[in-house]
Amino acid sequence: MEINRRDFIKFVVGGVAGIHVTPLPWKLTDDIAIWTQNWPWVPVPERGEFKEAKAICTLCAGGCGIRLRLVEKRGVKIEARDEFPVNHGGICPIGMGGLQLMYDKDLRFTSPMKRGGPRGEGIFVDISWDEAFSILIERLKELREKKDPRLLAVIDGLPYEGTESLMVRRFLQAYGSNSYFRLPDQDLVDRTVNWIMHGIKGPMGFDLENSDYILSFGAGLLEGWGIPGRVLSLWGDWRSKGEGPKVKVVQIESRASNTASKADRWIAINPGTEAALALGIVRELLQRGRYNVDFVNEHTFGFGDWVDQEGRSHKGFKSLVMEAYTPEKVASITGVDPKEIKLIASELESAKTPIALWGRGKAELPNGVYETMAIHSINLVLGRVQRPGGVIISKEVPLGDLGPVFTDEKAKDSLRQDALVPAGITGIAHVGDLLKAILDSKEPVVDTLFLFQANPWVTMPSSILLEKALKKVPFIVSFSPFRDDTSCFADLILPDHGYLEKFQEIVNPKGLGYAAYCISAPVLPAAYQTKPLGDTLIQLAGKLGDGIKESFPFKSYEEALRQRASVLFSGKRGSIKIQKEPPWKWVETKDSGIQGDDKKDWEALLKSNLWYLPNTKESAYIVFPTDSKKVEFVSLTLKRFKDAIGAKSDEDLMPHYKALETEKAGFLFLPYEMVNWSSGWAPSPPYLTKTVFDHILLKQDLFLELNPRTAKDLGVKEGDLVEVRSKLGALKFKVHLSEVAMPGVIYAPLGFGRIGYDEFLKYKGVNVATILTCQKDPIAGTPLWWGTKVTINRI
Amino acid sequence: MGKLSEHKGPKYGMVIDLDKCTGCGTCMVACAHENNLSVRPDESDIQRKLTWMRLYMVTNGEAYPKTEVSYFPRPCMQCDHHTPCVSVCPATATDYDINTGIVSQIYTRCIGCRYCMAACPYHARVFNWWDGYFPKGKGLERYLSPEVSVRMRGVVEKCTFCHHRLMRAKTKAYNEGRRELEEDEYITACTEACPANAITFGDLNNPEHKVSKLIKSPYAFRLLERLGTQPKVYYLSKKEWVRKLGDNYLPGEFKPVNPPKA
Amino acid sequence: MNPFDAALFPEGTKRCSLKLFIAWNIPWILLLLWGLVGAVLCLYKGLNQTNMTDYFAFALWIVFDLAVIALGAGAFFTGFLTYIIGKKELKDIINAAVLIGFICYSGAIAMLGIDIGQPLRGWFIFWHVNVHSMLAEVSFCITAYLGVLAIEYLPIILENRQIQRIKELRLFGNNLHEIMAMFAATGTFLSFFHQGSLGGLFGVMYARPFAYREGFYVWPWTFFLFVLSAIAAGPCFTILCTRLAEFITRKKLVPDKAVQTLAKIAAYLTGIYVLLKIVDTLVWAYKLTPKAGLTLMDYYKEGPYGIWLLIAEVIIFGIIPAIILLIPKARQHPGWLVVACLMNCTGIVLNRFVFTVVTLAIPVMPFGRFVSYWPTWQEWGIALALVGYGFLLFSLSYRYLPLFPKERELNP
């Protein structure tokens, strides 16, 4: 049969037309559509039953109440709990992104590890728990038997009254070491002030829920100060229009931070001179006679001139203030107009519940002790202590302890000796002391170093010394759940669970105005081969034996917690049920929810996640356990230690202003903090990178802030690359011009330049903490870091 | 599309109090988390940052020490009048729902022509220039919620007023035998997350809802109102300089709330 | 010695050697390869291979698309003039015009295929069409028009000397010629609408004061201005391509009458367009812009896209070529004609660029930023591949097809 061309064309055309009435082309197009909706590399979240779980957040020592949304066992969202008194519905961006910190494998230590590369590179190799324990036990045994138990040192960033921290100290004590170091933060300073002015060894709190006038000396209320969830929530209340009396916020700092911009008034002040302004305000109050005369007369010592036991007469606080802090003197020091001082004083007088706050930025970097005393003295002359809306200095949480510590002969002998690195008068040494000793001392002061929830690489000024010092430490063990920057220097990792995977607790959430104990059970199954810190310590103790084992008679960390809680229950004070009336109403709790049955109470406590004891007017009235039994403007405690602190005059026992010695040349270099970027121990969840503006971080470049006038003088423009050099070292930045910056001062954000974690944080920007130069606070020994002078050069 | 003004059902809207807003960014994090947004290693490029709620930083332009900064949290405005993006999408991948007032986005239909992005003056729409960043074994998909689909590359996405939460609330109500939702039963993730309670969400058609009352304030304004998009996101600020930044004004056109006394 | 492929040449024409021809085409093939690499990367890795951003949703490719579609308008307009109006002299240039149109439209659609985020879903624009969208109109019409152009191009291919020997194909080609008028009419109708709705794309964006225009019913004034500018510049582009071909082949290919007819019509159209454009600009600057609370200079106060662009587009590359073309002596002068056509086409390309890129560079939010954009090498590759493709296809068509019917007559 012949097929000619005409037929062929007919066939082809017919075929094409025909195919269109078959399903084939339509099915193919439908298939294509389905492919484009189901690309295999696009994750499909697993389905399952939706559940809810309640917990607290301990990414900072805040203990905010949070709610988790779970799909089967997977956490998919975190919300704040409205009914939880601590944060009353508020949460910070770091807490909101907490699940990323749980699940991002590269952010965490997923199993025990040992160092697999040069020290400081953060290269690790997986090992088993057995191997990790045996390496550590071998070393600890050798150290104890052959060398000196005091060569085991601990850097402890855990909350001080927490059970984990108690266990750490217990371990150290039973081992025979007194080499205990904390981070030099504002908490340390606050406790020092609380001790030397009020005689109380404990943290201070602020009853901000009742304050109607907040005079903040640099406290970054919107930058993450205090418990950020709580403070941000309060901010919303303070700014509520028309509902209740208006709360006024006055912010005193050199930079137009968010807090300064959104406060009712911003007072621009020369950096570091806050104490002078505070005392100038006190003088104004005294001058007008409009201070709380009753409180001052009844409950304070050292206000007027006084005579000591030897018959010598001494200047009192009032004399000091009246002489040295006249409006003109204060104006010349601080740059603040005397009219402003008078205005603040009159506002303080007419406010019902004013409060003065301190703590630059997030208050992770510490203030000075005298400085804090000076600001706090505003509260004192107004009698704003242990009163609604004021400073709460006594918050006792009647938890039990962990029982007696058993010290064997070796431990006893060792502990009788002086500490290798002596602490100051506060009795608590901090990391800066340790680093200095490592670098300066000829004899070794540490052989094995433990790191607990501490990341001084980022949180400690002059952290460039850390690198030098840590390289000299023979063996470093980190218990961190995160691959943090300081842990990059470790030799052995025994990783903790992530926070939602373990029992969490906070004793006295930071800055809260009433006694509280937040606790939650694990809400997520452990994602990796980690172990809760408490259990690790118990097991470590068990394997070491030698009396250390006896000091840890707990089967588990949970058991230890229950042991402490049972004392709380038997005390029958406070409430483990969240009451209708919030605790800042200063009324006693009606139904405490405590039944006196350990098991039932424990379950109830884990359900509410909170024990708390609201203040009442009666309970707040305390006898100050100082030498004078009063609040001391002149600290007799300091008098006792006057040689140790180098006190030469009466002034050195009182709040006063002393300028930091800085070089004449150069620009003042100040770090600033952001609420949406972590400069503390916990890393920024990757989501936070979306919230950082490109005038702060662009690709790998961090920007410093310069006032346009200063930039003009320097000859730099927006976007220029510059080198900033202090005595300690140099860092590269790009320049951002902004009128938020005080002319002549350079600002840069903290918390960048990470060397740990993963691609979301690593190597982005530079770590400002490394080049901050510090002087030593004469009382607490903590770093005074706001005097760093730098040179800037275009590169 | 039906006559919008005659629709009696809910019309969801939002009021953001800029004086309460702290610029903390929790709304951005909550939104990203709730809606399964991908996070790339580098999120610093504002022109490619994947975020539905975006915080803008503004200043009053004064010199130090009179400087002030403030923030505009900007979700999708859910424009009510002749929605600019809906009218231009050639494939009907975005649509205005007259039953709720919400402008939807269908990822599986979007062809990625980006016309809607050009039409939107608020930059509310973002494009997936990459596939989502979920490297194998890293674990980032473990916190994804099955209520929101994860997007592939090449499609546009934007704030949907957490439409899945509306579905969640309606399902719950239906299971309890109700048809009506209480005021706080359906709120967006950002509303719930904002620690300062700066964001209020509700039904603009319901005079009892907080949002309906708040928009009556003389301090209430909308972004780029004079363009005629009729956004359903309102802002409140007592600060005149902030309100002035809500729109473009020729000299003399801006009307202060409390004009200076003569 | 005859070139190797001489049997394929049109009857009685001379062509250069095959070796020289291949050498000539190497740069175009390289451009195509560059484009291919870029395209593969974009399809494989995604559109992050470009420098397009959330602000620059439209960029180089869209500018190129709009520009080539405007310049390719010579195809439909010449067809309209030839078959509907009856300007028989244009039959000598219509083939070239159709080919230019085919190149422009096929290249544009190929580029669009890479430009969208999910190319496999491109057909959703037809299947899930939103009839209110200008882009839907554009897509339908340019796809349909590409079909028309293919049908108009097909008979030219069938006129190849060797293919003509196949009786069926020769008859088929002849039949097509008979119904060309119908296709020309269809093409005119389709083109009018899509040239217009390409302008409508920008004019309807009422939330972008820089682009927005009021108009007539649903069609903003940009609709009509785009059509007008396309039919003004399209013939000019046809003239330019023809002149370029003549320059390269060193032959006269098209009689003066055809060229002058196009030039004269283009002159009047350009003149009318420039006038209307100036009126539109003034209304936009002094009525629409203040309504949005802006002044004209607010659009130009920052960034690289300054007011000089407006001056360049409307005055330098608008009024001046219009004047040159309107002066008969200048129009007939070969040098001035080319200059005027070049300037006219540049002006139209500038117009498309301004509507696409500058619209997106200008912030609309009062606290927004001016942004700028520069394409990546992948983007350049794909865009320039269109140029390579054009040269290649035109060269092939000139070599093997009777692209210019009067070639033999003009070159005895």
Residue with tokens 């809802």: B209
Give the whole-angstrom CA distance, residue B88 versus residue C18. 50
CB-based contact, A157 to chain B, within 8 Å: no
A232 to chain B: which residues are within 8 Å by CB?
22, 24, 26, 195-196
B88 to chain C: which residues are within 8 Å by CB?
133-135, 201, 204-205
CB-based contact, B93 to chain C, within 8 Å: yes
CB contacts < 8 A, A to C, total: 14
Average pLDDT over residues C9-23: 90
Residue A665: how many other CB atoms lie within 10 Å: 8
Where do the structural domains in chain B lie, given as residue ranges? 2-244
Chain B interface disruption, residue of C49, C56, C118, C139, most B CBs within 10 A: C118
Quick check: B90 and C136 CB within 8 A?
A: yes
Adjacency order of strands within the sheet including A213-217: A265-268, A248-253, A213-217, A354-357
**Residue B121: pLDDT above 90?**
yes
- The CATH number given to whatever domain includes residue C120 is 1.20.1630
Average pLDDT over residues B35-61: 96
Concatenate the DSSP letters of all residues of C310-322 into one string.
HIIIIIIIIIHHH
Beta bridge partners, A670, equal A747
Furthest-apart CA atoms within chain C: distance in Å: 73
Give the whole-angstrom CA distance, residue B228 versus residue C207. 8
**Residue B227: pLDDT above 90?**
yes
Residues 6 or more apart in contact with residue A250 via CB below 8 angstroms: A213, A214, A215, A216, A263, A264, A265, A266, A267, A344, A347
Closest residue in B to C211 (Cα) is B119
Q: Which class for A757: exposed (0-12), middle (13-18), buried (19 or more C-beta within 10 A)?
A: buried
Find, among C265, C26, A79, the residue nearest to B194 by Cα.
A79
A340-357 residue pLDDT tens: 999 999 999 999 999 999
- Helix (H, G, I), strand (E, B), or coil: what is residue A210? helix
Beta pairing class for C219-220 and C215-216: antiparallel
Closest residue in C to B56 (Cα) is C367
Beta bridge partners, C286, equal none
Quick check: C52 and B228 CB within 8 A?
A: no
Give the whole-angstrom CA distance, residue A121 versus residue A32. 48
Record the tokens describing residue B87, joined without a space. Answer: 């009218």
**Chains with ≥3 CB–CB distances under 8 Å to C:** A, B
B227 to chain C: which residues are within 8 Å by CB?
206-207, 209, 292, 364
Quick check: A694 and B140 CB within 8 A?
A: no
Chain A interface disruption, residue of B44, B53, B175, most A CBs within 10 A: B44
B18 to chain A: which residues are within 8 Å by CB?
none
Quick check: A235 and B193 CB within 8 A?
A: no
Cβ proximity of C151 and A67 under 8 Å = no
Find, among C273, C252, C245, the residue nearest to C345 by Cα.
C273
CB-based contact, C11 to chain A, within 8 Å: no
Give the whole-angstrom CA distance, residue A195 versus residue C13. 107
Cβ proximity of B51 and A271 under 8 Å = no
Structural fold of domain B2-244: Alpha-Beta Plaits (3.30.70)
Cβ proximity of A319 and A305 under 8 Å = yes
Cβ proximity of C248 and C404 under 8 Å = no
Residue A33: how many other CB atoms lie within 10 Å: 19
A36 to chain C: which residues are within 8 Å by CB?
118, 120-121
Per the rule left: phi > 0, alpha: psi between -120 and 50, beta: everything else, A593 is left
Chain C interface disruption, residue of A5, A8, A26, A690, most C CBs within 10 A: A5
In this prediction, residue A621 carries a pLDDT of 86
Q: How far apart are the first and last CA of chain C?
A: 19
CA A463 to chain centre: 17
Beta bridge partners, A70, equal A51, A75
Quick check: A9 and C168 CB within 8 A?
A: yes
Q: pLDDT category, A2, cuts 50, 70, 90? A: low
Quick check: A36 and C118 CB within 8 A?
A: yes
- Helix (H, G, I), strand (E, B), or coil: what is residue A512? coil
Residues 6 or more apart in contact with residue A33 via CB below 8 angstroms: C120, C121, C124
Where do the structural domains in chain A lie, given as residue ranges? 5-36, 113-178+415-613, 188-394+628-653, 667-794
Record the tokens describing residue C281, joined without a space. Answer: 């600009």
C284-306 residue pLDDT tens: 999 999 999 999 999 998 888 99
Find, among B17, B6, B11, the residue nearest to B236 by Cα.
B17
Quick check: B46 and A694 CB within 8 A?
A: yes
Q: pLDDT category, B2, cuts 50, 70, 90? A: very low
Q: pLDDT category, C170, cuts 50, 70, 90? A: confident
Beta bridge partners, A153, equal A179, A449
Average pLDDT over residues A617-638: 92
Record the tokens describing residue A72, joined without a space. Answer: 């089967």
The class of domain A667-794 in CATH terms is mainly beta
Give the whole-angstrom CA distance, residue A598 versus residue A621. 31
* Closest CA–CA distance from residue B59 to any residue of chain A (Å): 9
Assess if residue C301 is contained within a domain: yes
Query: Dihedral through CA A125, CA A129, CA A130, CA A132, nearest 10?
Result: 50
Window 23-62 of B, Cβ < 8 Å to C: 45, 47-49, 56, 58
A145-195 residue pLDDT tens: 999 999 999 999 999 999 999 999 999 999 999 999 999 999 999 999 999
Quick check: B130 and C201 CB within 8 A?
A: no
Concatenate the DSSP letters of all residues of A300-358 into one string.
EESSS-EE-TTS-EE--HHHHHHHH--HHHHHHHH---HHHHHHHHHHHHH-SSEEEE-
A42 to chain C: which residues are within 8 Å by CB?
none
B186-220 residue pLDDT tens: 999 999 999 999 999 999 999 999 999 999 999 99
**Residue A1: pLDDT above 70?**
no
In this prediction, residue B4 carries a pLDDT of 45
- Least confident stretch, A26-35, A350-359, A413-422, C386-395: A26-35
Give the whole-angstrom CA distance, residue B71 versus residue C251. 68
Quick check: C57 and B117 CB within 8 A?
A: yes
- What single letter denotes the amino acid at residue A171? F
For residue C202, the enclosing domain spans 58-371
DSSP state of A107: G
C355-379 residue pLDDT tens: 999 999 999 899 998 988 999 999 9
Record the tokens describing residue A32, joined without a space. Answer: 């294509």
Closest residue in C to A34 (Cα) is C121
The total number of residues shown for chain A amounts to 795
Record the tokens describing residue A109, joined without a space. Answer: 């230590």
Structural fold of domain A113-178+415-613: Rossmann fold (3.40.50)
Quick check: B65 and A71 CB within 8 A?
A: no
Assess if residue C94 is contained within a domain: yes
Record the tokens describing residue A585, joined without a space. Answer: 């109403």
C138 to chain B: which residues are within 8 Å by CB?
90
Q: How far apart are the first and last CA of chain B?
A: 49
- CA distances to A81, A229, A233 from A90, in Å: 8, 4, 5
Cβ proximity of B55 and A244 under 8 Å = no
Residue B13: how many other CB atoms lie within 10 Å: 25
Nearest to B130 among C46, C124, C364 (CB): C46
C26-71 residue pLDDT tens: 999 999 999 999 999 999 999 999 999 999 999 999 999 999 999 9
Q: pLDDT category, C323, cuts 50, 70, 90? A: very high
Q: pLDDT category, B3, cuts 50, 70, 90? A: very low
Q: What are the φ/ψ torsions at residue B166 (nearest 5 degrees)?
A: -65, -45
Quick check: C208 and B119 CB within 8 A?
A: yes
Helices (H), chain B: 26-34, 84-88, 115-119, 163-175, 189-193, 210-214, 240-244
> Which ipTM was obtained for this model?
0.96
- CA distances to A651, B222, B238, C366 from B218, in Å: 54, 12, 9, 21
B71 to chain A: which residues are within 8 Å by CB?
258
Give the whole-angstrom CA distance, residue A244 versus residue A183. 41
Nearest to B41 among A261, A685, A759 (CB): A759
Quick check: A36 and C121 CB within 8 A?
A: yes
Cβ proximity of A750 and A360 under 8 Å = no
A6 to chain C: which residues are within 8 Å by CB?
168
* Closest CA–CA distance from residue B130 to any residue of chain C (Å): 6
Quick check: C121 and A29 CB within 8 A?
A: no
Per the rule left: phi > 0, alpha: psi between -120 and 50, beta: everything else, A43 is beta
CATH superfamily, region A188-394+628-653: Dimethylsulfoxide Reductase, domain 2 (3.40.228.10)
DSSP state of A385: B
Q: Does an H or E element contain A113, and which? A: strand A113-115
- What single letter denotes the amino acid at residue A328? E
Beta bridge partners, A705, equal A736, A747
Average pLDDT over residues C225-254: 94
Quick check: A235 and B20 CB within 8 A?
A: yes
Q: How far apart are the first and last CA of chain A?
A: 86
C57 to chain B: which residues are within 8 Å by CB?
114-115, 117-118, 127
A523 to chain B: which residues are within 8 Å by CB?
none
C295 to chain B: which residues are within 8 Å by CB?
250
A48 to chain B: which residues are within 8 Å by CB?
146
CB-based contact, C124 to chain A, within 8 Å: yes
Give the whole-angstrom CA distance, residue A84 versus residue B132. 36
**Residue A219: pLDDT above 60?**
yes
Average pLDDT over residues A105-111: 95
CB contacts < 8 A, A to B, total: 208
Residues 6 or more apart in contact with residue C338 via CB below 8 angstroms: C239, C240, C243
Cβ proximity of C203 and C211 under 8 Å = yes
**Residue B163: pLDDT above 60?**
yes
Window 230-289 of C, Cβ < 8 Å to B: none
Angle between helices C60-71 and C334-353 (to 10 degrees): 140
Please compute, for residue A179, the number of CA atoms within 13 A of its CA located in the half-sphere on the CB side. Answer: 26
Q: pLDDT category, C160, cuts 50, 70, 90? A: confident
Q: What percent of chain C is modeled with pLDDT above 90?
A: 82
Find, among A791, A768, A789, A784, the residue nearest to A274 by Cα.
A784
**Residue C155: pLDDT above 70?**
yes
Residue A111: how many other CB atoms lie within 10 Å: 18
Record the tokens describing residue A252, joined without a space. Answer: 């005193």
Number of folded domains in chain C? 1
Quick check: A45 and B146 CB within 8 A?
A: yes
Quick check: C117 and B72 CB within 8 A?
A: no
Residue with tokens 């494009």: B127
A29 to chain C: which residues are within 8 Å by CB?
123
* Closest CA–CA distance from residue A32 to any residue of chain C (Å): 7
Quick check: A69 and B145 CB within 8 A?
A: yes
- CA distances to A52, A266, A341 from A349, in Å: 48, 19, 12
In this prediction, residue C162 carries a pLDDT of 85
* Closest CA–CA distance from residue B71 to any residue of chain A (Å): 9
